[in-house]
Amino acid sequence: MDRPDWAPKGVDTEKASAARLYDFYLGGSYNFEVDRELGRKVAEVAPGVYDFALLNRAFLRRAVRYFQSQGIDQFLDIGSGIPTAGNVHEVAQKANPDARVVYVDNEPVAAAHSELLLEGNPNAVAIEADLRDPDHILHHEKTRRLLDFSRPIGLLTVAVYHFIPDSDDPLGLLARYRAALPSGSYVALSHVTTDVMSTQIEQLIGLYRNSQNPVIARTKAQFTAMFDGFDLVEPGVVFTPEWRPESPEDAGEHPEEAAVYAAVGRRP
């Protein structure tokens, strides 16, 4: 396909990417036909995928507000995706204009449009980098300029680790990020599972197999293990709409239909 004018040079327009698919599910416009085609196929086998994305985004916003209620004023969002309404800096800086945010994504479209969105915002920056390279992210000039690692940080890695296979050692990666976080820091994670709605999720996984970002579902026990070294914040590991909903209606009658676990941990 022809590369749209807004697409960075060198971006792969032949294979769907997780960031652009997420943008499609959220109603965004920074995606290619290859993404929309796969997104529509995913929606056929897993009609709840649009809700999965919206509920996950809502969890991210609640996590940011919770971090702020605990005194956090600096955030590292890895796997941040393409800028859409309700980004971390929008939520955080609405409450505290001095809040600082570093966005990280390995998708060129996501990184490029984050940079455009943040022009003129001295307290938020974007980096094109991969979660699997903690040293590069943690020691990047932009990260070190904006974040003070002598004070607690809020790390958000939302709906990302289900793209990290066991061969890339997700627990080891989390341990490296945990080691870099000061005491009193927080981490927020979410992760797709086949513990519920297994047929739909397995079909979704099958469709993602030939994208740039194949999906790996994990069980509740496997997800909980990701918080080794952190103290889980109440209510612990739950489905996304159950994590500190703002009203009972937000959790709904069938929160398990989100098919995504969520939790927040505090580094002692």
What pLDDT score was predicted for residue 84? 73
Percentages helix, strand, coil for the chain (3-state, rounded to 5) are: 45, 15, 40
| Strand 260-266 versus strand 238-239 pairing type | antiparallel
Residue 61: CB atoms within 10 Å: 16
What secondary structure, in 3-state letters, does 99-118 show? CEEEEEECCHHHHHHHHHHC
Q: How many alpha carbons fall within 13 Å on the CB side of residue 217?
A: 20
pLDDT in tens, 170-227: 999 999 999 999 999 999 999 999 999 999 999 999 999 989 899 999 999 999 999 9
18-25 helix and 108-117 helix, angle to the nearest 10 degrees: 60
pLDDT in tens, 13-46: 788 988 889 889 988 888 888 999 999 999 999 8
pLDDT in tens, 77-129: 999 988 776 799 999 999 999 999 999 999 888 888 788 889 999 999 999 99
In Å, what is the CA distance from 179 to each residue of 100, 134, 176, 266? 21, 11, 5, 12
Helix (H) or strand (E) holding 98: none
Residues 6+ apart with CB under 8 A from 181: 149, 152, 153, 155, 187, 267
Q: Which has more confidence, 136 or 8?
A: 136
CA dihedral 110, 259, 153, 30 (to 10 degrees): 10
